Amino acid sequence: MPDQIEIRIPDIGDFEDVEIVEILVGPGDRVEVDEPIISIESDKATMEVPSPVAGEILELRVSLGDSVSEGTILALVAVEEAGEVSPQSAPPPEQDTLEEESPAEVETAEEPAATSVVQEQKEEGRSSEPSVMSGSEDTESSRPSSDGTAPHAGPGARRFARELGVDLNQASGSGPHGRILRGDIVTHVKSVMPSGSGGVSSGSGIPTVPDVDFSRYGPVTEVALPKIRRVAAVNLSRSWLNAPHVTQQDEADVTEMEKFRRRSKDEAARRDLKLSPLHFVLKAVSIALREFPDFRSSLSPDGEGLIVKDYYHLGVAVDTEHGLVVPVLRDVDQKGIFQLAGELAELAEKARLRKLAPADMQGAVFSISSLGGIGGTAFSPIVNVPEVSILGLSKLEVKPRWSGSFDLDAGGTFEPRTILPLSLSYDHRVIDGAAAARFTTRVSQLLSDPAYLLL
């Protein structure tokens, strides 16, 4: 007849009357030395209490939700292999801070034999991690399942689950007694992720951003976001998450175009207009789009083909005090530069007065975002998905350009040229880098001489 011993709560420091949040074994289960048998949780920490012996659990003396302190009897065990039974025998709790996840702690949580007590420390009040910001997050992953038993997982695995937003009740455990290990959570996340065959739908399971209480570090002011900005945030996230972005940078020599623009100033003023480089770029892009159909396409909803649009409506990002909006200029290919300048001025004015109708912002095949009037040398605009590319314009600059060839011995001179920086972002599922480079090269060529825009 094997010896029977009572397993008690060991020395757990200053903790008293802490709640049992998980019972990891049941009568009839076999436990190994150092295998966790319960998890307890105070307002400061979660920790596992291991078995000091190997044997069979004959009886549990506690229930979920009970409060326990050092010395409380947890279970009666038929001992097969004696270990140190004294409550004082437990090594000191291993702490892991919330700022930096220690791999050792995760290991420990997965491989309970390595350490007797794993402690997950909590900060007072709100913390830098959502998982412990409010009690609700904790309860979510350690909540009993429908059959009343808590998911069987250590603090490290539970915290990992919280970070990924995984409900542990949905994951199956491959550890001893069905214990859910970190690898099981990864397997579960993979099983619920879309298969990702290149379709146009987004992935999911993106870890949430920690909810930080910044007021803990200094004074803060909370400002409500205007609706336009909130809608833009959703659209930008959707685009960014769906389309693998690459940005091709280029520099267009627009010296002649700029001379022409200056010569046209008076004529523009007579029409009550101001010409900017953007108006020439609109025209150049409409020509390039005719030659590069992929750039005016969208991925079909099943991701298996392209829908090429045979119209040349271009979105233009407009900065307003309420946020970014993208009204659409229609049939740019059929309009002259003055007409485009006039229509864009009207749309931008409507945008700033918040008078754009939904139809004013629909139907673009490609977009342009100009920061040239503000500054900067290059940027990475976000594609307005389901469009597949967007052209960013930065500030004109006069730069020296070598008039000769790469054979420097053949001679040449540096000449001042007016350069317009181009930043073409594209959805790499649809457009290859080579095509992007050809597209910006062609746009640059079209901008190098205004005569090209007439042809």
Q: Does 228 bind ligand CAO (CB under 6 A)?
A: no
Dist. CA 169–CA 404, nearest whole Å: 70
Tokens of 24: 């990891």
Q: Does 327 bind ligand CAO (CB under 6 A)?
A: no
The 330-369 site mask, x for binding ligand CAO (CB under 6 A), equals: ------------------x--------------------x
Dist. CA 360–CA 358, nearest whole Å: 5
Tokens 């097969």 locate to 80
Q: Which is nearer to ligand CAO, 133 or 446 (CB)?
A: 446
Q: Minimum distance from CB of 349 to ligand CAO (Å)?
A: 9
Q: Does 381 bind ligand CAO (CB under 6 A)?
A: yes
Q: Which is nearer to ligand CAO, 55 or 381 (CB)?
A: 381
Of the candidate residues 276, 441, 445, 448, the single one contacting ligand CAO (CB under 6 A)? 276
Q: Which is nearer to ligand CAO, 93 or 372 (CB)?
A: 372
Q: Does 157 bind ligand CAO (CB under 6 A)?
A: no
Q: Which is nearer to ligand CAO, 298 or 418 (CB)?
A: 418
Q: Which is nearer to ligand CAO, 316 or 337 (CB)?
A: 316
3-state secondary structure of 319: strand
Q: Which is nearer to ligand CAO, 120 or 258 (CB)?
A: 258
Of the candidate residues 23, 117, 332, 393, the single one contacting ligand CAO (CB under 6 A)? 393
In terms of residues, how long is the chain? Answer: 455
Tokens 């930080």 locate to 212
Q: Does 231 bind ligand CAO (CB under 6 A)?
A: no
Cβ distance 76 to 31 under 8 Å? no
Q: Minimum distance from CB of 252 to ligand CAO (Å)?
A: 10
Dist. CA 399–CA 396, nearest whole Å: 9
Q: Does 277 bind ligand CAO (CB under 6 A)?
A: yes
Of the candidate residues 180, 278, 383, 385, the single one contacting ligand CAO (CB under 6 A)? 278
Q: Minimum distance from CB of 360 to ligand CAO (Å)?
A: 13
Q: Catalytic residue, from 152, 188, 313, 428: name it.
A: 428
Residue 294 CA: distances (Å) to CA of 197, 245, 330, 332, 432: 20, 15, 19, 17, 10
Tokens of 343: 């229509």
**Distance, C-alpha 79 to centroid of its chain:** 51
Q: Does 371 bind ligand CAO (CB under 6 A)?
A: yes
Q: Minimum distance from CB of 206 to ligand CAO (Å)?
A: 22
Dist. CA 152–CA 180, nearest whole Å: 6
The 420-439 site mask, x for binding ligand CAO (CB under 6 A), equals: x-------------------
Q: How many CA atoms lie within 13 A of 210 on its CB side?
A: 12
Tokens of 152: 């069987």
Dist. CA 275–CA 99, nearest whole Å: 53
The question of whether 313 is a catalytic residue gets the answer no
Tokens 């976000």 locate to 382
Window of 244-252, 273-281, 288-296, 358-366 that interacts with ligand CAO by CB under 6 A: 273-281
**Distance, C-alpha 258 to centroid of its chain:** 40
> How many Å from the N-terminal Cα to the C-terminal Cα in the chain?
101
Q: Which is nearer to ligand CAO, 318 or 332 (CB)?
A: 318
Size of the site for ligand CAO (CB under 6 A): 20
Residue 52 CA: distances (Å) to CA of 31, 46, 58, 59: 9, 19, 15, 16
Dist. CA 332–CA 309, nearest whole Å: 14
Q: How many CA atoms lie within 13 A of 154 on its CB side?
A: 32
Residues identified as active-site: 428
Instruction: Report the interface residues with ligand CAO, using CB under 6 A.
Output: 274, 276-278, 316-319, 324, 348, 369-373, 381, 393, 395-396, 420
